[in-house]
Amino acid sequence: MTLTGRNIIGGRPEGEGTAFRAVAAATGREIEPTFHAATADDVDRACALADQAFDAYRETDPERRAAFLEAIAQAILDIGDSLIVRCMEESGLPRARLEGERGRTVGQLRMFAGVLREGSFLGVRIDPALPDRQPLPRPDLRLRNVAVGPVAVFGASNFPLAFSVAGGDTASALAAGCPVVAKAHPAHPGTSELVGAAVAKAAAQCGMPEGVFSLLFDDGIVVGQRLVSDSRIAAVGFTGSRTGGTALMKLAAERPVPIPVYAEMSSINPVVLLPDALASRGGAIGKAFVGALTLGSGQFCTNPGLVLAVEGAGLDAFLSGAAAALEGVAAQTMLTPGIHRTYCAGVAALEANEAVTLLARGRGGGETQGQAALFATSAAAFLADHRLEAEVFGAASLVVRCRDIGEIRAVLARLEGQLTAALHMEPGDHEAARALLPMLERRVGRILVNGFGTGVEVGHAMVHGGPYPATSDGRTTSVGSLAIQHFLRPVCYQDLPDTLLPRELQQANPLGIPRRIDGRHEA
């Protein structure tokens, strides 16, 4: 497909706004074609069409929406290798990673098709009338979840496929019955147009209303701000920086009608190395840790940015194993010049901190490449300096040397909300781990053992979330089937005649979906 460089509004390429070009991540050179940022009129039209599409789209049969999601998945695969090639050029990410990410994107869309067919996302609850109840009769009460309305989705720079135009937020919003207006990340506009055209093609094939999906470009923040401020937008999905996410939360909260922003933001993902694990395999954990730290140049919100351990021979073995592995790691191209600059500034700030020691660095590289780095400090210094808790987005991590488990607890108690926490343990560490679990449950969305949080599994039991600032709303997840809850809200129907009820609530259960009757699952 030839790129047009134009927004996709109601299925058509449109727009003559400010021109900009994509930049090749590896060279910093501009790439063809010229893209056009959405104007105020473009944003208005995309939102108006989404609003017009909403009522028809939200009442489409779950089966039709499932077929639509599957058609999007197929249309993305049908783009073929040109999608991977363009994405490699724009993001600097390697082929194998992007092919895997495409598989995840397609898998995610298909998973939500399965969620629609299974039906429990509708959350149907029925409390049948009790006309003879004393002292008062009970009315007939029937609850189902409905779609919230048009959703604005912000593509993420670090996952140009799985967290972007047809990524998790778009898949869950479309599954819920919400039209989507996607804002392409300016780091990969060509990839975004290719995927956006695939979504538009699938919408046309499946006879969906034209406003069900639009894609808008911008190389600044104005389009995103207009979108979040538009009265027809009912919710926002975002993956990116804490600065960007909190700015959008503020904007959404200040609207005449405030709306939820589901932002997945910063996390340093503490890794706790417990004593027996360190004693028995400290060096091997160090090597595995470097693999997780440097994957994708560390540009993951699940990157292990903080390591906590009690001082001793086991920690020394971990550090030697990690340093030896890190010194062999080549510098890797980072996603954008801005992300590279921010990473270098974060590393420089750690280097300049007198309480921090540089333990090892990866191999040096070119102007756009991130050089991995491992630092250490004491628990006392960490507790005294809030700056050491800041996310350095890239392959840098800080080891906090603790005198005992009590200091590990003290550091964990200080941490902000996180996406993940990892515990490395042997059976002899179980008691120590048990004592840490309640503290971790309060602070993180996912607790894992003998591994690292990078590479989130897409499934039904996944939580990719966590208390603020990991996300704007720790009650939910942005990966996995539960993410559909972002874009649903419950409505109760009291004493409606059966013929007026939506089909999922009708007495005969014509859709054959799981329901709770009087608090119990229907047999």
Ligand X SMILES: O=C(O)CCC(=O)C(=O)O
Residues involved in catalysis: 264, 301
DSSP string, 222-267: HHHHHHHH-TT--EEEEES-HHHHHHHHHHHHHSSS---EEEE---
**Tokens 């989705």 sit at which residue?**
153
Binding mask 121-160 for ligand NDP (x = CB under 6 A): ---------------------------------x-xxx--
Rounded Cα distance, 340 and 268, in Å? 18
Return d(Cα 249, Cα 471) in angstroms, integer. Answer: 11
- Contact status, residue 51 vs residue 66, Cβ threshold 8 Å: no
3-class DSSP state for residue 184?
coil
Residue count (the chain): 523
- Whether 8 and 202 have beta carbons less than 8 Å apart is answered as no
Report, in Å, the least distance between residue 184 CB and ligand NDP: 8
The position carrying tokens 């140049």 is 297
Restricted to residues 361-390, the positions that interact with ligand NDP (CB under 6 A) are: none
**C-alpha–C-alpha distance, residues 212 and 195, integer Å:** 15
137 contact, one of ligand NDP, ligand X, none, CB 5-8 Å limit per kind: none
265 binds, among ligand NDP, ligand X, none (CB under 5 to 8 A by kind): ligand NDP
**From the list ligand X, ligand NDP, none, which binds 108 (C-beta under 5 to 8 Å, kind-based)?**
none
The interface partner of residue 219, options being ligand NDP, ligand X, none and the CB cut-off 5 to 8 Å by kind, is ligand NDP
Distance between CA atoms of 12 and 428, rounded to whole angstroms? Answer: 62
| # of chain residues touching ligand NDP (CB under 6 A) | 25
- Which residues, 301 to 340, sit near ligand NDP by CB under 6 A? 301, 339
- 174 vs 150: CA distance, rounded Å: 9
Per-residue mark of binding to ligand X, 438-457 (x: CB under 6 A): ----------------xxx-
Q: Does 262 bind ligand X (CB under 6 A)?
A: no
Between 393 and 487, whose beta carbon lies closer to ligand NDP? 393
Binder among 39, 164, 239, 297 for ligand NDP (CB under 6 A): 239
Say whether residue 487 binds ligand X (CB under 6 A): no
Q: Which residue in 301, 398, 463, 484 binds ligand X (CB under 6 A)? A: 301
CB of 121 to ligand NDP, least distance (A): 26
Among 300, 318, 343, 452, binds ligand X (CB under 6 A): 300
Name the minimum Å distance from CB 253 to ligand NDP.
14
CB 312 within 8 A of CB 277: no
Nearest to 439 by CA among 463, 416, 412: 412
Residues 6+ away with beta carbon under 8 Å from 38: 7, 15, 17, 46, 216, 217, 218, 223
Q: Considering only the stretches 6-14, 121-129, 220-228, 425-433, report the one whose residues sit in contact with ligand NDP under the rule CB under 6 A.
A: 220-228
C-alpha–C-alpha distance, residues 65 and 175, integer Å:
6
The two beta strands, 516-517 and 520-521, are antiparallel
- Of 260-299, binders to ligand NDP (CB under 6 A) are 265-266
Q: How far is the CB of 93 from ligand X (least distance, A)?
A: 12
Q: Which is nearer to ligand NDP, 38 or 53 (CB)?
A: 38
Q: Which does 269 bind (CB under 5 to 8 A by kind): ligand X, ligand NDP, none?
A: none
Question: Which pair of structure tokens corresponds to residue 137?
Answer: 């009769």
Answer whether 36's CB lies under 8 Å from 7's CB: yes
218 touches ligand NDP (CB under 6 A): yes
- Choose the stretch contacting ligand NDP; rule: CB under 6 A; options: 178-186, 309-317, 432-440, 476-484: 178-186
> Residue 294 interacts with ligand X (CB under 6 A)?
no
Rank residues 5 and 314 by Cβ distance to ligand NDP and give the closer one: 5
Partner from ligand X, ligand NDP, none binding residue 302, C-beta < 5-8 Å depending on class: ligand X
* Site for ligand NDP contains 412 (CB under 6 A): no
Tokens encoding 88: 């490699």
158 near ligand X (CB under 6 A): yes
The listed partner (ligand X, ligand NDP, none) that binds 38, CB under 5 to 8 Å by sort, is none
The answer to whether 241 contacts ligand NDP (rule: CB under 6 A) is yes
CA pair distance 1, 511, nearest whole angstrom: 39
| Shortest CB 54 distance to ligand NDP, Å | 23
Query: Binding marks (x or -) toward ligand X, 160..189, rule CB under 6 A?
Result: ---x--------------------------
Q: What are the DSSP calls for 305-374, one per residue?
A: -EEEEE-SHHHHHHHHHHHHHHHTPPPEE-S-HHHHHHHHHHHHHHHH-TT-EEEEE-----TTEEPPEE
Give the separation between CA 462 and CA 457, rounded to whole angstroms.
7
Residue closer to ligand NDP, measured from CB, 277 or 456: 456
CB of 163 to ligand X, least distance (A): 6
**Minimum gap (Å) between residue 158 Cβ and ligand X:** 5
Q: Is 92 exposed, middle or buried (0-12, 13-18, 19+ CB in 10 A)?
A: buried
Q: Which residues bind ligand X (CB under 6 A)?
A: 156, 158-159, 163, 239, 300-302, 454-456, 464
Q: Which residues bind ligand NDP (CB under 6 A)?
A: 154, 156-158, 183, 185-186, 218-221, 224-225, 239-241, 244, 247-248, 265-266, 301, 339, 342, 393
